[in-house]
Amino acid sequence: MKCFNTTTVCIPEKHYMVDLSERVREIKKLIDAGKYFTINRARQYGKTTTLSALEKCLSSEYDVISIDFQDITGADYIDENEFVKGLAGVFCDTKDNMDIPLSDGCYNQLYNLSTQKNEAKLNDLFRIFDKMCKESHRMVVLIIDEVDTAANNQVFLDFLGKLRSGYLKKEKNPKYKTFQSVILAGVTDVKHMKSKIRGEADAKENSPWNIAADFTIDMSLSEAGIRDMLEEYEADHNSGMDTGMIAKLIWDYTNGYPFLVSRICQLIDEEVSKTMNMSEMWSVKGVDEAVKQLLSENNTLFQSMTKNLNNLPELKKSIRSILMEGTRLTWNGQQDAIVQMQMYGLIINDHNTVRVANRIFETMLYNLFLSDEELKSNVFSRGGDFDRNIFVEDGNLNIRLILTRFIDTYHEIYGELEEKFKEKDGRELFLLYLKPIINGTGNYYIEAQTRDQKRTDVIVDYLGKQYIIEMKIWHGERYNAEGEEQICSYLDYYGLTTGYMLSFNFNKKKESGVHQVHIGDKLLYEGIV
């Protein structure tokens, strides 16, 4: 029986996975055109799985040599001699273990190069490559995975420079035999790496990979692709799920990020199934439970993201500003912080505006930033003294009571609002208050479409039910009436009749507390701090 996989390369015969054939066909067009390019995507974005499928597709037409730079040790980057010998050894090991198309003559030359006592040069290695391409009856494609392990080494840049030189010779003289296509895969965008490749006399910096074609193929998983994967699962298990609805729900959470899609499905199949029957686990309730478990785990993807943010404080500051303060950043592909955030998979270009890549990342990052605030201020530490069960009635969250208690607690700790107060302060404080109440049972996320300096909608998922809470600074009755109309339309979108508003009001004559407002068939509970 197949299973969902999140740890190694996905294999169609063993794992439930989205069909990659269309993506592979698009990549093959670049190879047929003789392009050199980099597939740079964030961690666990399906690069290795895509390369595996691509290699199978190409094998009937090309000689494909696929190696992994993780097989080169750190000592191999000391200098050119060690790098050349190490890389030649990797080619030999790959031939021995995976039977890549390498003639006996080229194999022997590479082996001798890897073991010789004399100093080895890149030119020695590339002469063997040229011989290999010349002797081959078919064109040769070179695929190198995990190039990040080499990215900070000058000798790797020199290696790219040699690939570049061969590409330019091929372009000038079609009879020149070299690799038909070279594909580098990793997180780092190799195209932006710089090296002096024109010699000391003309020491202008240039990219050794500036000959590479842009790789614009979408590697996220589509809603239709997820549905097809679920239909394959359904054919095996007969759960009765609505595959279209579940696919849309998973896509809404993940925006098609491959690891997140597979991990949610894997958690439903392997963990949620322990407490729910088949029909329950493949429902909205089951997906919400899987998302809750996903957000509570310290998986390798989250570890990588947290490490990158901690190592790059300016990057962390920018992400925090987008999420917590509603800052809108215009997309600029020349801005280093934006390039880095995109490279690590944290953001996407949403109509020329920077946006966090998906709802899972938003909530994970909110939790991270809120935890930072808890550690610094511990402002609601007394919140642990109350029984959070008082906010739950028959499995339903009593949001009205949560608003009431939050307002009382705020005034008890801070007193009256001050003019220096900003909406982000109220948003953070309310989420700090809400988080321990729903923790372990529910999730929350911030609706990106309404996150700005004026208003923010928080959506709480709790035991399969949703609650919409709009938070904003009070700007008068007219603005408040507009907010009421907006949240009513938002409730229509979610099929709800009850909503909640939390306003931070500087008016000294205000009346704090929570009161009801009826608008058409909608009931709003409006809280005022």
Question: pLDDT (tens digit, 9 = 90+) per residue, 448-463?
Answer: 555 444 556 788 988 8
Average pLDDT, the chain: 87
Predicted pLDDT at 412: 80
Is this model's pTM higher than 0.95 or not?
no
Q: Cα angle at 421 between 420 and 422, to 5 degrees?
A: 115
Average pLDDT in the 411-437 region?
Answer: 72
Identify the band that residue 76 occupies on the pLDDT scale cut at 50, 70 and 90.
confident
Report which secondary-structure segment, H or E, holds 443.
strand 442-446
Most confident listed range (170-179, 230-239, 291-300, 357-366): 230-239
CA distance 447 to 31: 41
Burial (CB count within 10 angstroms: exposed 0-12, middle 13-18, buried 19+), residue 518: exposed
> For 386-391, which contacts have Cβ atoms below 8 Å and span 24 or more sequence positions?
388/436, 388/437, 391/437
Predicted pLDDT at 148: 85
Q: Which of 245-259, 328-342, 405-419 has the lowest mean pLDDT?
A: 405-419
Express as a percent the part of the chain with pLDDT over 70: 90
Average pLDDT in the 401-409 region?
Answer: 90
Q: Does residue 329 register a pLDDT over 80?
A: yes
Q: How many Cα atoms within 13 Å fall on the side-chain side of residue 135? A: 13
Q: Does residue 35 register a pLDDT over 70?
A: yes
Predicted pLDDT at 203: 43
Predicted pLDDT at 450: 52
Burial (CB count within 10 angstroms: exposed 0-12, middle 13-18, buried 19+), residue 188: middle
- Cβ atoms 87, 65 nearer than 8 A: no
